[in-house]
Amino acid sequence: MLRNMSLRHAALGLLVEMDGASGYDLLKMFEITMGNVWQATQSQLYGELNRLTADGFIEVASEGPRGRKEYRVTDAGLGELRHWLLEVPPKIVRRDEILLRLFFLGQVEPDEAAGFVREQAAALDARLVALGELEGAIDWGEDNLSFYGRLAMEYGKRSMAMRREWYDWVLKELAERDTPEKR
Amino acid sequence: MLRNMSLRHAALGLLVEMDGASGYDLLKMFEITMGNVWQATQSQLYGELNRLTADGFIEVASEGPRGRKEYRVTDAGLGELRHWLLEVPPKIVRRDEILLRLFFLGQVEPDEAAGFVREQAAALDARLVALGELEGAIDWGEDNLSFYGRLAMEYGKRSMAMRREWYDWVLKELAERDTPEKR
DNA sequence: GAGGTACATGTCTGTTGTGACATGTCAAAC
DNA sequence: GTTTGACATGTCACAACAGACATGTACCTC
């Protein structure tokens, strides 16, 4: 039974970087720091925190108002994180809904196909703007999360720019196929 | 209950392009044509084919040796595919295990972090070679799957090249952080 | 002091995805 | 003739994920 459990390690890692936090804190941090890299729902996260506690990788450091539980990573947890980081090969999951649709665009009219691509390009432009805003809104410090977060941000920007160019290239290819003046 | 069900439409679309096929054929086609875009296990696919049949989107055109069932897409199935293609907004799932690990590389020694990045870069190089081989091995025809598959292939190549460059940039940034000679 | 909002945790149901296993047929090679 | 390998379908258990619902507390403002 090979389990990968990235959410578990994402929570563990974030907890280390935050130097302890509650589930609620963690959930917010998830969204702002790595919403573009990994997503987690509330029910997933709370469940995982309980499992991590049961496994001894984290512990409740203190309890606060409103039933708040401040979690802290144990030594075993730190070891588990390092092990996962360096010794567990990352599983590459390729799953792209837009690319999947591309395969079947031959099933609709050429102008509908081009319209689809143009729509995706416009949506991408909007996300590019949002990413720029996020970058401006973040208070980039000298801590690890800031440093590595900036590297991830750069990846996001490059990735989107590449995709944008590819959309334009696709539109050109579609137009050429539609008007076959070759030879 | 909003369901997206991309696998369902991937199977439907591939069945249209293949002009009918068995589950076994479909599974092989999945791997070679869009293994880089969408993955499907055998148990998922066979189950989905039965559900698609129950919903009237596909039907068993004929039965062959070894219990083989040749499936064919119905008019309703074709309608469903077109509807999904143009009217259901694609769900963008961002989940990148390598990028996730990047966030926590501050937890290991600088040389271990750089080693990790170099390993990923090497693995990427290997996949780039494999992609080139795949491209050479495919018999690119004039059909829709060939045309759109070529566009997807171009995306894959650009994506990998971009990522490769980013890895090098990350290594440069890591080296700079390690030796802070600035000012 | 009443009301709203942010804080805070948890459960439940259903869907999707994975890996292992079970079962059997047909064709070709030996 | 038997064995091997490709063909072919299916089930089962479990893990991962999503969304809705349930429940309550603390703090701030009016």
Q: What angle do CA A38, A43, A44 make, to 5 degrees?
A: 40
Residue reference for tokens 């392009």: B17
Distance (Å, rounded) from C-alpha A153 to C-alpha A37?
Answer: 10
The whole-number average pLDDT for the span B95-121 is 96
pLDDT, mean of residues B131-159:
92
For residues A70-93, average pLDDT: 95
Q: Are A59 and A72 in contact (CB under 8 A)?
A: yes
Gyration radius from chain A CA atoms: 22
Chain CA centroid to CA A58, Å: 23
* 3-state secondary structure (DSSP) of residue B73: strand
What is the model's pLDDT at position B163?
Answer: 97
Q: Record the tokens describing residue B110, joined without a space.
A: 């600088």
Min Cα–Cα distance to chain B from A66, Å: 30
Q: Report the alpha-carbon distance of residue B50 to residue B52 in Å, rounded.
A: 5
Predicted confidence (pLDDT) at residue B87 exceeds the cutoff of 90: yes
- Confidence at residue B126, expressed as pLDDT on a 0 to 100 scale: 94
Token pair 């917010």: residue:
A28
Strand ranges (DSSP E) for A89-165?
none
Cβ burial A81-101 (10 Å sphere, 16+ → b, else e): bbebbbeeebeeeeebbbbbb
Give the mean pLDDT of A14-33.
Answer: 94
pLDDT band at A178 (very low <50, low <70, confident <90, very high): confident
Rg (CA), chain B: 22
- Mean residue pLDDT across chain B: 93
**A40 contacts A27 by C-beta, under 8 angstroms:** yes
Q: What confidence category does residue B182 fall into, taking pLDDT thresholds of 50, 70 and 90?
A: low
Mean pLDDT of A173-182: 84
Whether residue A27 has pLDDT greater than 70: yes
- In this predicted structure, the answer to whether residue A182 has a pLDDT above a threshold of 60 is no
Q: Give the position of tokens 């440093």.
A: A147
* Confidence grade of residue B174 (pLDDT, cut at 50, 70, 90): very high
CA A2 to C1' D23 (Å) is: 36
Q: What is the pLDDT of residue A42?
A: 96
pLDDT for residue B4 is more than 80: no
Average pLDDT score over residue span B88-106? 94
> Mean pLDDT over residues B85-113, rounded?
94
pLDDT of amino acid B178: 85
| pLDDT category of residue A2 using cuts at 50, 70 and 90 | low
Contact between A120 and B90 using a beta-carbon 8 Å cutoff:
yes
- The contacts found for A29-32 with CB under 8 angstroms, 24 or more apart, are A32/A138
Give the SS3 label for residue B59. strand
- Given a cut of 90, whether residue B54 has pLDDT beyond it is yes
B67 touches strand D (CB under 7 A): yes
> In this structure, is the CB of residue B89 within 7 Å of any atom belonging to strand D?
no
Element (H, E) at B87: helix B75-87
**Nearest CA among B30, B107, B154, B77 for reference residue A10:** B107
pLDDT tops 60 at residue B103: yes
pLDDT value of position A5: 85
For residue B103, what are the contacts with CB-CB under 8 A and spacing of at least 6? A13, A14, A17, A33, A34, A37, A145, A148, A149, A152
pLDDT band with cut points at 50, 70 and 90 for residue B34: confident
Q: What pLDDT, on the 0 to 100 scale, is given for residue B27?
A: 96
pLDDT at B179: 87
Strands A58-63 and A69-73, bridge-based pairing:
antiparallel
Does nucleic acid strand D have an atom less than 7 angstroms from the CB of A41?
yes
**Contact between residue B49 and residue B71 where contact means Cβ atoms under 8 Å apart:** yes
Determine, for residues A148 and B13 on separate chains, whether the beta-carbon distance falls below 8 Å.
Answer: no
* Residue B2 predicted with pLDDT over 60: no
Is residue B81's pLDDT more than 80?
yes
Q: What percent of chain B has pLDDT over 90?
A: 84
A67 touches strand D (CB under 7 A): yes
Which nucleotide is closest to A68, CA to C1'? C8
Chain B hits for A159, Cβ within 8 Å: 159, 162
